[in-house]
Amino acid sequence: MNRDVNLYNQGKDALALLVNLYQRGSYRVIRDPEGVISLWAVEGNERNPFSLSFADRGRISGSLEDMSPEFVRAFIEYVRRSAARVT
């Protein structure tokens, strides 16, 4: 499968920014059928170190590299918007 290395590197940078924004807790990034990304906190894990999983089209993974390019693009945009609101 041909992967856009630059896109996935941008995704890793977005992930690093998200880690800085939310330093504790477990989260799941979900892309709904319309392509909208949302971040959900996993209840009961607020004090745990930061962890993140990704869900798209019924597929769940702990690795951004497993996700489709469309998911990664939407994730990058979501993190950019989230960071802009915080700063």
Q: Concatenated DSSP letters for 4-62? A: -HHHHHHHHHHHHHHHHH--BSEEEEEE-TTS-EEEEE-TT-TTSBPEEEEEETTEEES
Local confidence pLDDT in tens for the 87 residues of the chain: 457 999 999 999 999 999 998 889 999 999 999 999 999 998 877 788 999 999 998 899 999 999 999 999 999 999 999 887 765
| Structure-token pair, residue 69 | 């390019």
Residue from 74, 77, 80, 69 nearest 4 by CA: 69
Helix axes 69-86, 5-21, angle to 10 degrees: 40
Domain assignments of the chain as residue spans, ordered by start: 5-86
pTM of the full predicted structure? 0.87
